[in-house]
Structure 1
Amino acid sequence: MNVESFLERLSGVRKTTAGWQAQCPAHEDRKASLSISVADDKILIHCHAGCETAVILEKMSLKPKDLFLTPLHKPAKPYIVAVYDYRDEVGKVLFQTVRFQPKDFRQRQPTPGGAWYWTLKGVKLVPYRLPEILKELSIFIVEGEKDVGNLVAIDVPATCNPMGAGKWRDEWGTYFEGKEVSIIPDNDEPGRKHAIDVARKLHYHAKSVKIVTLPEAGGVKDVSDWLARGGNKEKLLAIAEKAPTWEPASKGKPESKLKTITAADLEDKEFPPVKWAVPGLLTEGLTILAGRPKRGKSWLGLGLALAIASGGTALGKLKVERGDALYLALEDNERRLQNRLSMLKDPEHRLPRRLHLVTDFPPLQLGGMAQLLKWLDEFKETRLVIIDTLGRILPSAKANSNQFTDDYQFIGKLQKLAIDRGFALLLIHHIRKEGAEYALDRVAGTTGITGAADSVWVLDIGKPPANAILHVTGRDIETQEIAMKFDGGIWSILGEARDVLISEERRTIIELLAREGPLYPKDIGNHLGKACEATRYLLFAMKKDSQVVNTEQGKYALPS
């Protein structure tokens, strides 16, 4: 190992006349108690707080032999020395920058199976430490993750972009709206160009933008080097305070540019596979389940949650993958939930621990969202979240506001959460009292609710043998009308509604025409043992339902 590699594993490193000082990793060190020097081709360390050398090396994932300097002529095998998580607004890891020694950087993204994919293709790119910088009013922007870490260590909020100089993106401006931004360039030409590029892209978003140039005496390379040579928080803030506010050479606001992707690039773009909570029916994203009161919507939602938490079969025939399920029963109590689950469960097995139930939940804007995010952080294998009902969390209408816009934005935030975290969010809701021919038009509230949803289910009254018809439509799901049976609290799928609801006589006619071809009403009546007039009446009804058609010869046939 060489001295540079050793020092890169420490925080708060600064140069001294005898060598270096750094924060000791073996104890909570705020005073840089660790001394480092070199003598006789060996690294010497001493903690002034009394930490033993073996303990310090263990915290650094090193062994005593690593204190001996590696001969310069012997090439070092690359190894990981640091990993930097890039997270979205709610803290989900999108990708990582990995630092190697000898010095090199590569990016990777997590896969559903827990492995890593060494590419950023298809990944949303964000600034480093995004959740933290969103909370700050004043931010320093530097060129690398190590620089960010050294600033954060002295309590200075900081960020950077992945992949180094020249990679700052225009769309990140919204993250810095109204903030005071100070940019510290590296002391080289690429660093100075990068600082100007970042300033130009943030100028029309941030409250103020400054380019903070550090003293160059002694050949200071970057902010980490400056800190190692005796720089500190007070000195940095004083330099930033004196720096002038940056203004672009041209005062005019730059012309906005339409962001496009070519069809050829889109064809080559790789997306992760769609995640299904219930195959073919309930996918990741937000789904509305609407129906009349007391029609079994809550039973349907609770049954789906139980199936997923158990890793069993949903709706009598759809095999589901096991995962955590969260059911917010905001119109129920624990006694009622216990009774319902006892009717739904397999009598030979206990209820699953991966089904989580909530009966008391604050409004999202008053702590509910924070509680939900914290729960999702803890249970990372969540496949389904059900909120029963939407009305219990939907904000009250505001005076002089556009209700469509309010509904669309509220549902849109929940939809984005479900997509970003990769789970299915089912919101149980009501339908209007007045009828409407189109299923979506029967959902209560403005069209902002259904417009922001990924899919919508409407539970309608059915005809024997079906208790209900489930109308399903959505962006990434095939439109369906499913005949459903409800028995003892348990919902099951009977099949496609048009196949299940057909009468026995109609079924016989369809099978007859499929076998014999076009026939006259009299021939069909003879086969059924029905009077000719009654047969004509039945055929007229079937024609109206598009089950049969007339030929030019006056015969009846199946639609082509």
Structure 2
Amino acid sequence: MRQPVVYDVVRQGETLNLIHQPKGGKSWLVGGLALTVATGGCWLERFDCTQGRVLMIDAELYPEVIAYRLPMIADAMSIDRSALEYIDVWPLRGSLPDLFKLAPSLNAIEPGKYALIVLDAWYRFLPPGISENDNAAVMSLYNTIDGYASRLGAAWINVHHASKGDQTGKGVTDVGSGAGAQSRAADTHVIIRPHAQDNVAVMEAVVRSFPPIDPVSIRFDFPIWSLAHDADPRDLRKPRERSVREDRDRHLDADRRSIVNAMVKLNVPETKTVIRDLARVGPPRFGFAWESLLADKTIVPTERITKGNGRTYEGFAIAVESSETATGEQRESNGRKNSPVAEQQEREKPL
């Protein structure tokens, strides 16, 4: 078997996908891993690393940002900054890099020079015309990476993002934007999903050449990730379900206006049912907005109304002093213009 670079995770010549949500702290995590490999330490208190040089090929961050971050991570990890001499960085943002254009530079590297190579971020190195959703094309790219990693004798990490939406119910190999070939082609597929606790995530992995790995909880305490001893990795963050009341509150102002506007159009006391039909606000939001209008006396009960079936119903009208309606003069004008009598008179005017 090939020599492990990160024990229980990835070996020399193998490829690892590291998947996390956009802006979730992936670059901080791999920065910590790079420093751990550079010093031969233990990553996240769980995974021993073989000491060796690291190459970070970065098209995500500008050079000055990388130069700022790595020393900060080293200080937070209590690692002497001299360890940075074991990390080489190719800052390629803005240079239109792709996986094929890297070939001359990678082929010029002496085999065995690096223990670990990090490509950040995967989507920025896709050659023109290749979609991350194309299984055949993606498989071809992974074959290219296998060639690079095998010749150099280094473990290779692709930093990639998860697809949009909730990832909680997905299997480990189903997490990651793009073609399914990505998880199948890699030797190790590592995903990070939000934990129920703030600033905590759950790291899970499927490995090819090691025994299965149990999920671990990790905490981001800027600028580093560390093992979260107090967090149960089974406690993934559940998608937040908006409550009925939250939904009503979100629409309350608009629903109140719709009801008031309907009553202004009627310009006469009417039943709740007629007002609801004209307002076009469905239950249960109508009831919530209606009770709100009654509570602050924007609308008030009036005399009972007799309908064609001979039955009487409670009527409602807008309170004269209501601030949600137009001025009295405007209401009177609107009422004359919108009332059924006014409309009938308008139709009967001689041409």
1-structure distance, mates of 2:150, 2:120: 20
Alignment of 1:186-201 (within 5 A): none
2-structure distance, mates of 1:416, 1:405: 17
Q: Does 1:325 align with 2:54?
A: yes
Partner of 2:228: 494
Alignment of 1:281-360 (within 5 A): 281-284=9-12, 285-346=14-75, 349-352=80-83, 353-360=85-92
Gaps of 5+ in 2: 237-351
Report deviation, 1:358.
1.1
Q: Does 1:370 align with 2:104?
A: yes
Go from structure 1 to structure 2 and tell me whether the alpha carbon gap of 1:413 and 1:332 turns closer, same or farther (over 3 Å shift).
same
Report % sequence identity.
23
Per-residue Cα deviation, 1:239-278 (whole angstroms, up to 9, x for no partner): xxxxxxxxxxxxxxxxxxxxxxxxxxxxxxxxxx332121
Go from structure 1 to structure 2 and tell me whether the alpha carbon gap of 1:316 and 1:339 turns closer, same or farther (over 3 Å shift).
farther
The residue type equivalent to 2:226 in the other structure is S
* Paired residue secondary structure (1:322): coil
* Paired residue secondary structure (1:417): helix
The residue type equivalent to 2:100 in the other structure is Q
2-structure distance, mates of 1:438, 1:475: 16
Partner of 2:208: 475
Report deviation, 1:333.
1.6
Report deviation, 1:435.
3.2
2-structure distance, mates of 1:402, 1:445: 4
Partner of 1:395: 127
Give the conservation status (yes or no) of the 8 Å contact 1:317–1:492: no
The residue type equivalent to 2:153 in the other structure is G
Alignment of 1:423-462 (within 5 A): 423-436=154-167, 437-462=170-195
2-structure distance, mates of 1:349, 1:484: 23
Partner of 2:138: 407
2-structure distance, mates of 1:497, 1:473: 21
Give the conservation status (yes or no) of the 8 Å contact 2:199–2:221: no
Alignment of 1:511-522 (within 5 A): none
Per-residue Cα deviation, 1:501-541 (whole angstroms, up to 9, x for no partner): 59xxxxxxxxxxxxxxxxxxxxxxxxxxxxxxxxxxxxxxx
Give the conservation status (yes or no) of the 8 Å contact 1:466–1:494: no
The residue type equivalent to 1:302 in the other structure is G
Report deviation, 1:404.
1.0
* Paired residue secondary structure (1:363): coil
Give the conservation status (yes or no) of the 8 Å contact 2:202–2:233: no
Go from structure 1 to structure 2 and tell me whether the alpha carbon gap of 1:312 and 1:406 turns closer, same or farther (over 3 Å shift).
same
Go from structure 1 to structure 2 and tell me whether the alpha carbon gap of 1:294 and 1:310 turns closer, same or farther (over 3 Å shift).
same
The residue type equivalent to 1:313 in the other structure is C
Report deviation, 1:398.
5.2
Report deviation, 1:289.
0.6
Give the conservation status (yes or no) of the 8 Å contact 2:37–2:50: yes
Alignment of 1:113-124 (within 5 A): none
Per-residue Cα deviation, 1:449-487 (whole angstroms, up to 9, x for no partner): 222111111111012387100110121131431111111
2-structure distance, mates of 1:351, 1:334: 19
Partner of 2:296: none
TM-score (normalised: structure 2): 0.58
Alignment of 1:216-235 (within 5 A): none
2-structure distance, mates of 1:348, 1:431: 30
Number of residue pairs aligned between Structure 1 and Structure 2: 226
Give the conservation status (yes or no) of the 8 Å contact 1:415–1:454: no
Report deviation, 1:326.
0.4
2-structure distance, mates of 1:501, 1:410: 35
Go from structure 1 to structure 2 and tell me whether the alpha carbon gap of 1:398 and 1:297 turns closer, same or farther (over 3 Å shift).
closer
Report deviation, 1:495.
5.7
Give the conservation status (yes or no) of the 8 Å contact 1:314–1:320: yes
Q: Does 1:280 align with 2:12?
A: no
Report deviation, 1:287.
0.6
Partner of 1:485: 219
2-structure distance, mates of 1:404, 1:348: 41
2-structure distance, mates of 1:299, 1:413: 27
Report deviation, 1:316.
3.9
* Paired residue secondary structure (2:82): coil
Go from structure 1 to structure 2 and tell me whether the alpha carbon gap of 1:417 and 1:348 turns closer, same or farther (over 3 Å shift).
closer
2-structure distance, mates of 1:487, 1:433: 24
Q: Which structure is higher in RCO with an 8 Å CA cutoff and minimum separation 6?
A: 2
Partner of 1:386: 118
* Paired residue secondary structure (2:190): strand
Structure 1 stretches of at least 4 aligned residues deviating more than 6 Å after TM superposition: none
Alignment of 1:128-167 (within 5 A): none
2-structure distance, mates of 1:425, 1:326: 10
* Paired residue secondary structure (1:480): coil
Report deviation, 1:351.
3.4
Give the conservation status (yes or no) of the 8 Å contact 2:17–2:157: yes
Report deviation, 1:498.
4.7
Go from structure 1 to structure 2 and tell me whether the alpha carbon gap of 1:299 and 1:403 turns closer, same or farther (over 3 Å shift).
same
Report deviation, 1:340.
1.2
* Paired residue secondary structure (1:425): strand
Per-residue Cα deviation, 1:106-138 (whole angstroms, up to 9, x for no partner): xxxxxxxxxxxxxxxxxxxxxxxxxxxxxxxxx
* Paired residue secondary structure (2:219): strand
1-structure distance, mates of 2:144, 2:68: 34
Give the conservation status (yes or no) of the 8 Å contact 1:435–1:442: no
Partner of 2:277: none
Alignment of 1:12-23 (within 5 A): none
Report deviation, 1:310.
2.3
2-structure distance, mates of 1:286, 1:335: 28
Go from structure 1 to structure 2 and tell me whether the alpha carbon gap of 1:466 and 1:348 turns closer, same or farther (over 3 Å shift).
closer
Go from structure 1 to structure 2 and tell me whether the alpha carbon gap of 1:439 and 1:496 turns closer, same or farther (over 3 Å shift).
farther
Per-residue Cα deviation, 1:374-432 (whole angstroms, up to 9, x for no partner): 12x1x624110000000111123359x99210111111220243234332100000111
Gaps of 5+ in 1: 1-272, 503-560
* Paired residue secondary structure (1:309): helix
2-structure distance, mates of 1:465, 1:317: 22
The residue type equivalent to 2:160 in the other structure is H
Give the conservation status (yes or no) of the 8 Å contact 1:290–1:443: yes
Report deviation, 1:337.
1.2
Identify the structure with the greater helix proportion. 2
